[in-house]
Every structure is written in C-alpha cells, then in structure tokens.
C-alpha cells in the first residue's frame, strides 16, 4: 500500500504481523495464521512445543470421540446428536474463529484509519494552499498599503504646505481686520459727531420754523379777522354712504391776489346740523372761488333701511348656508345705490349685520343678500 506522507512527512504507525514465518507451512495450513493480533512473534522452541501440544490434543480428542461413539451407540438419537454436537465443537477452532474475527475487525478499523488520515492529509494540503494564497494576498495588500502610505505622506506634506500658506493669509487678514475695525470705529465716531451736529441743527431749524409758522398763522389770522371771511352758498348734496351726507360751501370775502386761500378755507369753520367743524377738504376752483367740502355723519336724510324680508332657502345642498334677501328703502335719487346698500346695517332673526354680503338691482329696486350659517342646510 502506498502511504501519503502528512504535513510533517510522518508515515502511519507500523503494523507488525505475528505470523510465524519460520514454521513449516506444509504440516498444518491453519497454523500459518496469526495467533494474536499485534503481538510480537515467539521463539521457535516455544512454538514447536505449542504445536506438539495442539497435535496431541487433537489426537486425544479424536480417540475420545470414537470411544464415545462406540459406548453410546445404543443411546437415543437426541442424546447422540447432542453428544456429537459437543464433540464437534473444538475449543481451539472456536478460539481461532474469534481471533480471526478480531483480526478482520482490526483490519477494517485500520483501513478506516488510513482513509481518515488520507482525508486529513488532503485537508492539510488544501489548507496549505489556502494559507499560501492568503499569504500572497496579504503580501499584495501590504504593497498596496505601502503605496497608499507613500501617497498619503505626500498628501500630508502638501496639506501642511497649503495650511502654512493659509495661516499666512489668515494672519494678513487678521491684520487687515484690525485695521478695518480701527477705521470703522473712527468712521462711526465721526459720523456720530456729524449726526449729532446735524440733529442739533435740525432741532434749531424746527424750532425756528415753528416760531415762523406761528408768526405767519398769527398774521394770517389777524388778516382774516380784518377781512371777515365767511361761508356762503351752503348746499347739501348727495349721500356718500349710510348716514353720511356731503355738504359744500364757498368761502366769501376773499380778496383777489390773496395767496393762502386754501389755508384760509381749512381754518374757517362752519356749523352744520348743530356741529361746528372745519371742512374735510378744500378746493380752489379757478374763477369760481375756494370751496369747502364736508362729509357730515348722522344725517337722517341718508338713513336707508331694509324691508320685505325673504327666505330664499339653502344656497346649495350640504352648503350649511341659508340665503336671505331684503329690499332697501329710502334710496335718494342721485345717490350711489351700491355704496348705500353695502354700508346699510340690518337686524333680523335676532342677528345684527353691519352690511349685506352682496347687493343687486332688479326692476329699479335695490336688494341686499345675506348668506347665513344654518345647520338645517347640511
């Protein structure tokens, strides 16, 4: 059998046979087999004595068997069969069979051990190849890491150089920042001084202007008192919204060439509906004079109101809104119906509304519309 050496070159353990090769193989063939497995061979004299004993034992046994057969010839068949079976059972043969069975088992175990060792040697070979491949791979990785380390070292040097340049730039920038802060601080101080001087100058100018304005107003008031301005051609015009009416009047006794005509209009008051107030604005109508315009609130002539309450149902299915409409009463001719309608308040269903949601005209009548939340319209 060819043995494959292991990792260390060690062959499998030696198995020494116990067969007596010096014995006479022609006398008894069964004596050529091994006596006991894995036992060292005995010397020739002991072996011959043991062979003589075995030969004598066999002859004695044969003689005993013949005598027993002759003596027990008349014994019943079962007894003869039983005796024959016992006589046929040779103790030496049984021992040899047991020994042969042990040898067969040992041989099988030995073959299994050899196969396992061969498998182990093959596994070692594969592991050696794998280990060698790993070593080669690691060596390549080491080379790559060395290249990367060299590149990284160059990058570190370049980075340090750039960092040094940036540090120089940073120092220059810090110097510039300090200089800029100093310049900015001086500029702010200078501007603050200039601003304070300008503010003081402006305050003086304001005070002087107020004094001059008071003097001018005083002179104009004295002149108006001497001239005796008053309002004439007072006229109540149209309504500008609910409860508010427009009034106009012309300022009389204004001499030609009098420049502060509009200022005189704004400061001349008029009593309208028991309320004394100056005009809302003034207009210098060339060739016609100066007119004052008032918008007087609380004028009953502009008190429109809604009548003929109508429930128009839900605005749409699941809208949650119910539509109501009412007719607007006391709209004066010439008044803006849309302005008056959109500013007229109303109260219905115990709810106050400052104005309608929308307004419209139909058949020369003006109507207001309200969309009110109603749970019955869900």
Q: Which residue in the block uniquely carries the two structure tokens 């949650």?
A: 320
Whether residue 321 is found in the same domain as residue 369: yes
Q: Does residue 40 sit within a domain?
A: yes
Whether residue 99 is found in the same domain as residue 71: yes
- Is the CA virtual torsion 351, 356, 360, 366 positive or negative? positive
Whether residue 64 is found in the same domain as residue 113: yes
Whether residue 105 is found in the same domain as residue 42: yes
Whether residue 35 is found in the same domain as residue 126: yes
Q: Which of 67, 102, 133 is the last residue of a domain?
A: 133
Q: Which of 250, 268, 300 is the last residue of a domain?
A: 300
Q: Are strands 321-329 and 305-314 parallel, antiparallel or unpaired?
A: antiparallel
Whether residue 322 is found in the same domain as residue 281: no
Whether residue 316 is found in the same domain as residue 264: no
Kindly tell me the burial class for residue 304, based on how many C-beta atoms sit within 10 Å of its own C-beta (0-12, 13-18, 19 or more).
buried
Domain holding 352, by residue range, is 304-377
Q: Which of 300, 327, 343 is the last residue of a domain?
A: 300
pTM: 0.40
Whether residue 37 is found in the same domain as residue 122: yes
Q: Does residue 111 sit within a domain?
A: yes
Q: Does residue 97 sit within a domain?
A: yes
Q: Are strands 230-241 and 244-252 parallel, antiparallel or unpaired?
A: antiparallel
Per the structure, the count of domains in the chain is 3
Could you read off the pLDDT tens digit of each residue along the chain, which spans 378 residues? 444 444 444 444 444 444 444 444 444 444 444 444 444 444 444 444 545 444 445 555 556 566 565 655 545 444 444 444 444 456 788 889 899 989 999 999 999 999 999 999 999 999 999 999 999 999 999 999 999 999 999 999 999 999 999 999 999 999 999 999 999 999 999 999 999 999 999 999 999 999 888 887 777 666 665 567 888 888 998 999 999 999 999 988 877 777 778 888 888 888 888 888 889 899 988 888 899 999 998 888 899 999 998 999 999 988 999 999 999 999 998 899 999 999 999 999 889 999 999 999 999 899 999 999 999 998
Q: Does residue 286 sit within a domain?
A: yes
Q: Is 354 helix (H, G, I), strand (E, B) or coil?
A: coil
- Is the CA virtual torsion 361, 365, 370, 376 positive or negative? negative
Q: 359, 368 in Cβ contact below 8 A? A: yes
Q: Which residue in the block uniquely carries the two structure tokens 């502009």?
A: 302
Q: Does residue 37 sit within a domain?
A: yes
Whether residue 48 is found in the same domain as residue 69: yes
Whether residue 277 is found in the same domain as residue 363: no
Q: Does residue 238 sit within a domain?
A: yes
Whether residue 60 is found in the same domain as residue 124: yes
Q: Does residue 64 sit within a domain?
A: yes
Whether residue 56 is found in the same domain as residue 118: yes
Q: Give the span between the Cα atoms of 289 and 282, in whole angstroms.
A: 11
- Count the Cβ atoms, other than its own, within 10 Å of residue 29: 8
Q: Does residue 214 sit within a domain?
A: no
């Amino acid at each position: 059998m060819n043995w494959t050496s292991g990792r260390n070159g060690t062959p499998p353990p030696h198995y020494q046979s116990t067969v007596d090769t010096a014995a006479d193989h022609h006398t008894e063939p069964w004596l050529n087999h091994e006596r006991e497995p894995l036992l060292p061979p005995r010397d020739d004299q002991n072996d011959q004595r043991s062979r003589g004993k075995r030969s004598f034992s066999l002859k004695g046994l044969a003689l005993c068997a013949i005598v027993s057969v002759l003596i027990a010839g008349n014994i019943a068949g079962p007894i003869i069969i039983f005796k024959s079976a016992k006589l046929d059972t040779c103790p030496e043969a049984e021992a040899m069979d047991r020994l042969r069975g042990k040898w067969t088992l040992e041989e099988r175990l030995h073959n299994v051990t050899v196969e396992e060792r061969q498998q182990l040697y093959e596994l070692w070979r594969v592991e050696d190849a794998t280990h060698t491949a790993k070593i080669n791979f690691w060596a390549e990785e080491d080379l790559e890491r060395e290249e990367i380390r060299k590149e990284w070292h160059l990058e570190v040097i370049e980075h340090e150089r750039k960092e040094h340049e940036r540090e120089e730039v940073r120092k220059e920038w810090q110097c510039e920042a300090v200089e800029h802060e100093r310049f900015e601080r001086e500029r702010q101080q200078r501007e603050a001084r200039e601003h304070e001087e300008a503010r003081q100058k402006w305050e003086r100018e304001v005070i002087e202007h107020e004094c001059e304005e008071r003097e001018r107003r005083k002179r104009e008031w004295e002149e108006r008192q001497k001239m005796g301005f008053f309002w004439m051609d007072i006229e109540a015009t149209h309504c500008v919204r609910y409860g508010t009416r427009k009034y106009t009047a012309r300022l009389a006794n204004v001499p030609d060439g009098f420049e502060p005509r509009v200022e005189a209009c704004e400061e001349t008051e008029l009593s309208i509906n028991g309320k004394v107030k100056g005009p809302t604005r003034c207009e210098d109508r060339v060739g016609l004079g100066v007119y004052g315009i008032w918008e007087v609130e609380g004028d009953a002539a502009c008190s429109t109101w809604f009548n003929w309450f109508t429930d128009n149902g839900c605005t749409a299915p699941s809208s949650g809104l119910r539509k109501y409409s009412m007719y607007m009463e006391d709209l004066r001719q010439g008044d803006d119906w849309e302005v008056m309608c959109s500013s007229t308040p109303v109260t219905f269903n115990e709810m106050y509304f400052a104005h309608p949601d929308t307004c419209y005209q139909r058949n020369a009548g003006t109507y207001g519309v309200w969309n009110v939340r109603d749970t019955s319209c869900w």
